[in-house]
Structure 1
């Protein structure tokens, strides 16, 4: 569903109010930015063991999460987080995160708590094993030998196929060669991701009929186990022909599918125009909303203005609500040197979270790791940090309430969710007062609006004009009681 914009000229006011020796000039308006309905928050349990997710199922439910995205489930080895993105065999689940039995137990446990499971999937390439062998047979003879030693147990982990033989050969890969032109879609989608220093790269799969059928069998097996969503890793490196061949109507039915295509902006940005826009146009999938993320970084950063966040989608700087996965951090940003410049100041990140969890557009995703990036545990247990859980509560209680912007300036953005909640975000270093015409903006009188981030802050609305104060470098999320 695309955003609809209703500008009410009659409510466009320029207020210049002096109150308690403080003068603030702001624009106030009534803008309905979206008719997007309620979307549940996704917890990205990055690199968590499946047994850990199972163990924490009740806690995850209590905190308000309704969906959990887990790391790739197939045969992979190696203790590093990035080894999970190097598949050796799609026909069974067996990695340091757990096996098929652990994965199924996790799905069943979460389902009993009314929580859905999303799976991170890798279809572009296979594991880079050139350092131990010269062939492109997968899973390879060494792994097949290991299977044969305990074939009865291995078969209990099987998703599909015959585990006594390889299922991929050199005929199933593009020729070797590293990506050198990152602005050319054909080059990015046909050649290999390489690490430098003579690395021959991740073997790039050719979407021939055999490969596509194997990948479809894998996705069907996960779906039959109870998975309800797929995150398509490295979608930028796959042709849309490949993606559409794998994701047929049977697989897409009742599934939420979104791709990971990293861009540094929205419309007009080369990475958006060459990769993300064609992906959204040629498939019916969603995607990470990197255009909105770029808008957030720009607006909250030095020299930016909060008016950039009034309606970024109108200028191609945010994805349509029905397509967008919104976020303030993803696993690729802190764990890859080339993307670390996108890490926000911690306070700006908190304000960004208030925006994505306070608004009504897109599907918010909260990332939580085990300090894989070595950032002083910044995102470890992030999912249960007090401010995050309070914002999830705000988000969950305002289902089906649309968003209307009340006021904005370079420093602040104030918007409401119909009559039921108000969000104020202040990026500047001094407190900001905003006087709001509660009659025009349909805020209920003689009701408390309590800030979920600081529950001692209660706004009791009882007159036509009410002053909302947003402290410096802070956010307020007032929920009507």
Structure 2
């Protein structure tokens, strides 16, 4: 990280910044008027009972939406087993069953919180080690259904549990992906683990498969689910996605895809997968381009000016399309993405950025230490996160205006209601602000939700000090 000189009173830099940020501010304002940017809690690998039991706590913390792990028939205690579906027609896995899921939805709804469901539609479970056919869920599970018919029928979402859901004609031919830059290869061949692994059986987009997937989504909607996260969306054709997520399914719900990239426009993954997905489906997506900009800005040689208006250069998604984050479950849990884990302090500062800015729907990830890093256990209720959400909710719907920036810091305001300052460097930064030009109110306290530091404005020029390696989120009292 580079230090820079403290910023003196300067109207020129502010004017230049306002001109530069105009397009981002305009798009952010449109987003505020047309969509909700309520914070999503990603309750990763939580049981449905646990989520339901914490409904009041989650509401008190300011969350408005909760994303839960994939809900269908799956076996195995490991987190990744939830991403290997055996049957859509029943919710039955170590996180709970259909009745537990419905009770969770109702418990959260009673507190004004929406449930989002994580959806895996490109493949079924890799069970080549225990059987050679592609009949799902297969004889063993069908026998379980028959032996406990009362239980399973009480947990049935749709369909006939006496027969298989899918057969060999519902899958693409076997074969592992070898060219990760070729959309056709990525979408028609299997995800394999190496060492002779035959991979995850890749579903075809035939009429039967689409009908079953739509029936599953419609049932979850009937239960009250308000959002769907499309896992591994790059591995499905946009034709398949649009056939399943038709206008009826999408009506009244928030749909967003997971397509991991290491950058925005000009990045191969973005150009080949994410941009076409957004264009062809109209869905939202994880804002991996913004995440790459954040990681670059907080790097040793990076500059915080990269966060002034990354969307203007194709390095962030449009505000109305973005689900923003500082970590997703794939990053710490998959060796190939662990390089994207941020320094812990930088991640905290980045959380202040995504929860302070106007743009996108922020998501906070909270796990049970599945990765072994011990970084995100109970993050959802960490004091700093709760206080950032307090700021976010306090300025919801307010437009954003850049106040000033340097290599070390960025400062922006949310109309006259809130001011955010983030300093990545090792020395404190004094930022003199023309309160008249910025429309800040005099003789009012602006209290930092993170530390309690209070700024009382009584004159045109006011110094906002941002200590080293810190964020401040001042909210007008």
TM-score, normalised to structure 2, is: 0.95
Per-residue CA deviations over 1:361-419 (Å, capped at 9, x if unaligned) read 000000000000000x2100000001000000000011211100000111110000000
Q: Structure 2, unaligned stretches of length 5 or more?
A: 1-5
Q: Structure 1, unaligned stretches of length 5 or more?
A: 1-14, 19-23
Tell me if structure 2 keeps the 8 A contact 1:85–1:122. yes
Q: Which position in structure 2 is the counterpart of 1:446? A: 443
Give how far 1:284 is off. Answer: 1.1
Per-residue CA deviations over 1:26-62 (Å, capped at 9, x if unaligned) read 9324345221215100000000000000000000000
SS at match of 2:369: coil
CA distance in 2, matches of 1:397, 1:129: 49
CA distance in 2, matches of 1:96, 1:169: 25
CA distance in 2, matches of 1:26, 1:448: 27
CA distance in 1, matches of 2:396, 2:7: 34
Tell me if structure 1 keeps the 8 A contact 2:7–2:429. no
Tell me if structure 1 keeps the 8 A contact 2:171–2:204. yes
Give how far 1:219 is off. Answer: 0.4
Q: Which position in structure 2 is the counterpart of 1:421? A: 418
SS at match of 1:28: helix
Counterpart pick for 1:156 among 154, 157, 176: 154
Give how far 1:314 is off. Answer: 0.3
Tell me if structure 2 keeps the 8 A contact 1:17–1:25. no
Q: Which position in structure 2 is the counterpart of 1:8? A: none
Q: Which position in structure 1 is the counterpart of 2:8? A: 17
Q: Which position in structure 2 is the counterpart of 1:107? A: 105
Q: Which position in structure 2 is the counterpart of 1:284? A: 282
SS at match of 1:466: strand
Q: Which position in structure 2 is the counterpart of 1:336? A: 334
Matched, 1:392 2:373: no
CA distance in 2, matches of 1:94, 1:25: 61
Matched, 1:480 2:471: no
Q: Which position in structure 1 is the counterpart of 2:429? A: 432
Higher relative contact order (CA 8 A, sep 6+): 2
Aligned pairs, number: 461
In the TM superposition, what are the counterparts of 1:331-410 in structure 2 within 5 Å? 331-375=329-373, 377-410=374-407
Q: Which position in structure 2 is the counterpart of 1:133? A: 131
CA distance in 2, matches of 1:25, 1:369: 45
CA distance in 2, matches of 1:86, 1:72: 9
Tell me if structure 2 keeps the 8 A contact 1:76–1:87. yes
Q: Which position in structure 1 is the counterpart of 2:3? A: none
RMSD (Å), alpha carbons: 1.4
SS at match of 1:222: helix
Per-residue CA deviations over 1:302-355 (Å, capped at 9, x if unaligned) read 100000000000000000011000000000000000000000000110111000
Per-residue CA deviations over 1:198-242 (Å, capped at 9, x if unaligned) read 000000000000000000000001000100000000101000000
Tell me if structure 2 keeps the 8 A contact 1:177–1:200. yes
Tell me if structure 2 keeps the 8 A contact 1:16–1:25. no
Give how far 1:126 is off. Answer: 0.1
Q: Which position in structure 2 is the counterpart of 1:51? A: 49
Give how far 1:25 is off. Answer: 11
Give how far 1:86 is off. Answer: 0.1
CA distance in 2, matches of 1:306, 1:52: 39
SS at match of 1:478: strand
Tell me if structure 1 keeps the 8 A contact 2:402–2:411. yes
CA distance in 1, matches of 2:398, 2:212: 43
Matched, 1:27 2:17: no
Structure with bigger helix share is: 2
| Cα separation, partners in 2 of 1:120 and 1:158, compared to 1, 3 Å | same
Tell me if structure 2 keeps the 8 A contact 1:16–1:26. no
SS at match of 1:17: coil
SS at match of 2:437: coil
Give how far 1:153 is off. Answer: 1.3
